[in-house]
Structure 1
């Protein structure tokens, strides 16, 4: 099969490697079925979509809505490259799944609005509710109407892009999953995370102001009690639907 392009932006090796391993595990992928690019270190491949089955963009400490003055030169560079790639993706309705940062980047660069004004969520498990539009979507049809998922973000979608199909919401953050055209997806929650994976991220981002650092151990214990199994099925469905033979 053609590989999936996995774009990451976590500068911490342990967090980046953990996210990558989660993409493989829950996507049902092997290392030779993906092309991994750490955007904070490498250039985003442009003009090469025909080489891939699809594109996945993960999360990280960067914020789409930060002013240019607050962004590092590295962030400015990979955001410019990712913006150019996204233009190609949307123009060709090419399979894309943006998660957390990858969701915000999709929204902000297709006519929606992302900011820190409201709808941020602390690191926690929330109830995601599927909307009527999700009933016949290939990634969500047949799933429970409500399920637990991991969230944790300082910025959020305030306004959807024109034409976006609104698939899922939560009480604290209305825009949790969308689709543009037929094949371009974004999720504010983490489809690649289970309880063990989030415990690792809690350790890595203990002092990143997502939560009071003294609550780290309490958070890990709480997550290990949660039944977080549905979001990873969405990731697996994305891979299964768009895997293309050579």
Structure 2
């Protein structure tokens, strides 16, 4: 199986997703949207699409003209029945493609904070699944729940932390894919975001949360396995 990755910034790569793909014998291909003149793939050649996070907003089309084409591609992928996974900015782009709105959250959420899974999440996954998880968050904007989507997880700072749509489309506001290396790079390149607030940890606190990444990877392993096996069916008109 081929997983195609939309990567928005150089230091936020697929992280644990790459390890999962290698373990399962899947192939990764990329569109590096941070590179000059990014080229989009032939949709018919893809098996699944993963849309990663980034520093920009979904509303920054004037600054990043490729956002317009990316949004159109995501919409075509969904309409064509492709499994699509969005993380952070990627989840916001996917939610918007499904008719949701993306807006400023009540407060930035940056650091390791718990999320709690809904009963719908427990129905989505098979086998043992935790009631809660403490993943990395790094966002100021939030998405509304897309029409027809099912809420999978919430946090105290952000009600819509995860959703599924027709099982094959998943949006995660948090970052379960981040590795220790990516976390260090985010702290280096995005330290300007760490303005003190109720839901913003210090760089020292975030760095100390590295031990929590393993549980997020275990969760992501379960999610990717269930998601990759989801039915491929075009959206009903």
Change (3 A) 1:206 1:113: same
Q: Distance in 2 between matches of 1:210 and 1:31?
A: 38
If the length of structure 2 is used for normalisation, what is the TM-score?
0.82
Q: Which SS does the other structure have where 1:154 is aligned?
A: strand
Q: Which SS does the other structure have where 1:231 is aligned?
A: helix
Matched-pair contact (CA < 8 Å) for 1:26–1:233: no
Please list the CA deviations of residues 9-29 of structure 1 after superposition, one character each: whole Å capped at 9, or x if unmatched: 10xx4x14xx24443124445
Q: Which residue of 2 aligns with 1:152?
A: 138
Which segment is superposed worse, 182-191 or 26-35? 26-35
- Tell me the C-alpha RMSD between the 2 structures: 2.7
If the length of structure 1 is used for normalisation, what is the TM-score?
0.79
Please list the CA deviations of residues 73-122 of structure 1 after superposition, one character each: whole Å capped at 9, or x if unmatched: xx22x21221221222221331111000000111122211111142531x
Matched-pair contact (CA < 8 Å) for 2:84–2:169: yes
Matches within 5 A, 1:70-149: 71-72=62-63, 75-76=64-65, 78-118=66-106, 120-121=108-109, 123-138=110-125, 142-149=128-135
Q: Which residue of 1 aligns with 2:178?
A: 193
Give structure 1 stretches of 5+ with no counterpart: none
Give structure 2 stretches of 5+ with no counterpart: 197-201, 231-237
Q: Which residue of 1 aligns with 2:199?
A: none
Structure 1 residue ranges (4+ consecutive) displaced by more than 4 angstroms after TM superposition? 29-32
Match of 1:52 among 46, 60, 63: 46
Q: Which residue of 2 aligns with 1:40?
A: 34
